[in-house]
Amino acid sequence: MTRALPAFQFLLTLAVTFLGLLAITFVIGRVVPIDPVVAVVGDRASMETYNATKEAMGLDDPLLVQFARYVVQVVQGDLGMSVSTGRPVAEDLARVFPATFEMATLGILIGVVIGVPMGVIAAARQGRWIDQVIRVIGLAGYAIPAFWLGLIGLVVFYANLRWVGGPGRIDFFLDGMVPVRTGLLLVDSAIDGNWEAFASAFSHIVLPSFILGFFALAYIARMTRSFMLEQLGQEFITTARVKGVPERLILWRHAFRPIRVQLITVIGLSYAGLLEGSVMIETVFSWPGIGNYLTTALLNADMNAVLGATLVIGAVFVGINKGSDALYRVLDPRART
């Protein structure tokens, strides 16, 4: 019974959070200055057609009734029909989300693999030239607009140097040549053994992933440096140095281990930020992901698609936060209580 209580509390918290997310998306759909009926019938429809469509969509019902119906539909996996594509929104999102997931996952891997060592080195060399360089890189990650960096990257590495592929996920003559299994083009092409498609997909994803990774590593490096400086000022670090413990062991065994739990939060927030904040990068690189899908839906006043994409992004954010909480308990036994 005691062991089941935390699991029940976790599920209850998750359910309440998801219900709040549904409420927010529902309110957004009602307060935005876009008439969903006009988006369906057009602005030249007769008043009779407008009223009949509004009644058929259930928009004449009280708001509580509409919200209850919305919750039931979402739980059943029904996010409505997209005006832009004419297909169910859930089907569209299942098609476009893997592209965003693939790019953001590579981006966060780049951010962690480069950003964490950068933060540790900056803390270990506080005040020296390498610390200043890393701090400037971190500042640039906050100051440089994503769309500007994406355009510069395309001009330099694609148009001039030809080191990477251009916009899109794959060369046009290979589009549709890879059977869809996971939706992750790199994985699917490797499973199929189509290494030409794999090379093409990698050349297209490497630049946008590195740009996303740059913004992630800037934040991760900055926070890692801050956490490490706090640990390096502790008395047990001074004691270890007096005992003659090698500096490498002091950094990675004594100072880094206590900050792992804190870094989980930083990395989780960065990952969620890449998944939900890749709209500009996807627009610049014509990347067929959820950000591009959301932008197109907004331009077409396709509220079902907008709300569905917003709901998915919010659910991913909640899921990553809950996953971080679970990792806390794995790395830090004190959190289990």
pTM: predicted TM-score of the whole model, two decimal places: 0.84
Most confident of 52-61, 186-195, 288-297, 298-307: 186-195
Domains in the chain, CATH or no CATH each: 4-75 (no CATH), 93-336 (1.10.3720.10)
d(CA 266, CA 120): 15
Contact between residue 10 and residue 322 where contact means Cβ atoms under 8 Å apart? yes
Q: What local confidence, expressed as pLDDT, does residue 1 receive?
A: 47
- pLDDT tens figures, 152-193: 999 999 999 989 988 889 988 888 888 988 889 999 999 999
Pick the more confident residue, 195 or 58. 195
- pLDDT tens figures, 259-272: 888 898 889 888 88
Q: What local confidence, expressed as pLDDT, does residue 6 receive?
A: 61
